[in-house]
Chain A
Amino acid sequence: MALAATFLALVVSACGGASDEVGSSNSSESTNAAATDGGGAEVKLSLVAYAVPKVGFDLVIPAFNQTPEGKGVTFSQSYGASGDQSRKVESGLPTDIVNFSVEPDVTRLVKSGQVDEDWNQGEHKGIPFGSVVTIVTRKGNPKGIKTWDDLLKDGVEVVTPNPFSSGSAKWNLLAPYAEKSNGGQDPKAGLDYLSKLIGDHIKVQPKSGREATETFLQGTGDVLLSYENEALFAERNGEEVEHTNPPVTFKIENPVAVLNTSKNKEKAQAFVDFLYTPEGQEKWAEAGFRPVDPDVAAKHAADFPEPEKLWTIDDLGGWGKVNDELFEPETGSVAKIYDEATS
């Protein structure tokens, strides 16, 4: 009874005491008090992102708030499966800036008229940061898994998210596909590999890259396919895992775009521009993401080893082609394999 009373008092006081902050909360768990110094026009931007970049935005947003344009700008943030987030924005979730895992999730919003067609015409084509596909194993890599072929060994269970909701899942499947098909020249070889991988080794279908990590950390599976930045995140958190970048892997490019329906387009654009500045790029690198600015990338070269061969989406003909041929629900070859194996 006394306990219950304490709780009630606690909740009431928590609400009464600080509810004035609600409208301007940065929402990320780390508060950036410096951001709100009262005066001036306060702008709040709504950021809808894929599952894992929170660790980066937690560094970038306070840095942005230190700049003249960023002063007093606060953010509300939402993280989740890239495809699911894109679906929500398309169906009306109020949003100023989107950051998805894969380009098609932005393309969907271009088609719906919410993002301008020229969103990727800038120097870096709308991609402020990226990563590579990596193989995460239990500490000590007890099953000795280092290459794509190792995934097909008997009894190896692979954790990767559901490609119909997650962008991470698409990258994870493209990496071995690109190697086996030699950059898309022999699609059959690539698809044969994926059939074996999906049919025999993938049992779970987490919704997003982060849920896949969580599933793996809860003890499911021998291998987690993920972003390099996500592997670094888990390792820095002291989890009992380690990652190996396979010698041949895939370049992940995570797009950012401003919605043309935004009421604060200028501020939103200022924030997106900030992501490409050396300061912004530095923060992404610190958080474990591969920066696109060559100078910053050179500085962090030791953190981000170059694989022997890094395939890109352009090698496969670009997202438009890849999505139509492989991932389009019901008609794409990978979608069909997935449906056959898991639906």
Chain B
Amino acid sequence: MSTRIALRSVALTYLGVLVVVPLAMIFYRTFEDGFVAFFESVTTPAAISAISLSLTIVAIVVPLNVVFGLVTALALARGNFPGKGLLQAVVDLPFAVSPVIVGVALILFWGNDGWLGGAFPVIFSLPGMVLATVFVTLPFVVREVEPVLREIGTEQEEAASTLGASRWQTFWRITLPAIRVGVGYGVVLTVARSLGEFGALTVVAGGVAGESQTLTLLVHARYIDDHNTFGAYSAATVLMGLALVTLVLMTLLERRREA
């Protein structure tokens, strides 16, 4: 019995020292001067622009990932073609690539001296930030949906098409409802990762306040370039709040999936 208490204490202490106390510390630092100071700090024009840029990126990345993620998941789960193993590996690739390398890759491919010779104005503007975010979030929807697709099998879909349903009808009426929790989970993960991306963006984003500065870049710029520690804490707290929302959504979806 005492072993159990000891194990529990060690585990909880580890979590406390590593996660809980530092987070509490930021909350304290953010709100020690009251809520108003925090609110003012996260509603400066630069902060609002950073928040809206981060949300804009999410709004572009999520549909892209859902559409292409579904196509890829369907191809992987249902298709049978040469090179499928390779495609599987490519989907997982972003998990193994450092965000900084993602940024380097985009510069060397899209940039002025890159393969495309700067034919498209991608680096240091919104498309570059979107491409970087799509890269790092690419596996989420595929990896959440693909196993579900395998699990539900094709019987219902085949039945529907025997009864004369078109491909689209079958997809909308049969397939999509079956995988929607998986899609939802993938979307939540994508949103969280998109809001939090930093390494790739430091390389490809211009970081111009009010233009090409996301929330994560704002945290860094305030901490370093503005020497504004409190502002950085406040912006970090907004991101932490968004992370908490994500966590709650994840837990809710988890429950539905198990139900």
List CB contacts (< 8 Å) of B223-240 with chain A: 223-228, 231, 238
Asked if B88 is at the interface (CB within 8 A of a chain A CB), the reply is no
Asked if B148 is at the interface (CB within 8 A of a chain A CB), the reply is no
Asked if B175 is at the interface (CB within 8 A of a chain A CB), the reply is no
**What is the minimal beta-carbon distance from A125 to any residue of chain B, in angstroms?**
27
Q: What is the chain B residue whose CB lies nearest that of A21?
A: B45
List CB contacts (< 8 Å) of A111-147 with chain B: none
Is there contact, CB below 8 Å, between B112 and A91?
A: yes
Is there contact, CB below 8 Å, between A76 and B208?
A: yes
A214→B223 CA distance, assembly (Å): 9
Write the A9-28 contact mask toward B (1 if CB under 8 angstroms, else 0).
Answer: 01100110011011011111
Asked if A80 is at the interface (CB within 8 A of a chain B CB), the reply is yes
Asked if B211 is at the interface (CB within 8 A of a chain A CB), the reply is yes
A28 to chain B: which residues have CB within 8 Å?
46, 209
A3→B243 CA distance, assembly (Å): 12
**What is the minimal beta-carbon distance from B128 to any residue of chain A, in angstroms?**
10
Is there contact, CB below 8 Å, between B225 and A92?
A: no
Asked if B121 is at the interface (CB within 8 A of a chain A CB), the reply is yes
Write the B108-148 contact mask toward A (1 if CB under 8 angstroms, else 0).
Answer: 00011100001001011100000000000000000000000
A79 to chain B: which residues have CB within 8 Å?
221, 225
Asked if A46 is at the interface (CB within 8 A of a chain B CB), the reply is yes
B121 to chain A: which residues have CB within 8 Å?
92
**What is the minimal beta-carbon distance from A191 to any residue of chain B, in angstroms?**
31
**Contact residue among A46, A51, A94 (Cβ-Cβ distance under 8 Å from B225):** A51
List CB contacts (< 8 Å) of B34-75 with chain A: 39, 42-49, 51-52, 55
Is there contact, CB below 8 Å, between A8 and B245?
A: yes
**Contact residue among B45, B206, B223, B247 (Cβ-Cβ distance under 8 Å from A94):** B206
Asked if A210 is at the interface (CB within 8 A of a chain B CB), the reply is yes
**Contact residue among B49, B124, B244 (Cβ-Cβ distance under 8 Å from A27):** B49
A interface with B by C-beta (< 8 Å): 1, 3-4, 6-8, 10-11, 14-15, 18-19, 21-22, 24-29, 31, 46, 48, 51, 54, 76-80, 88, 90-94, 208, 210-211, 213-214, 233-234, 237
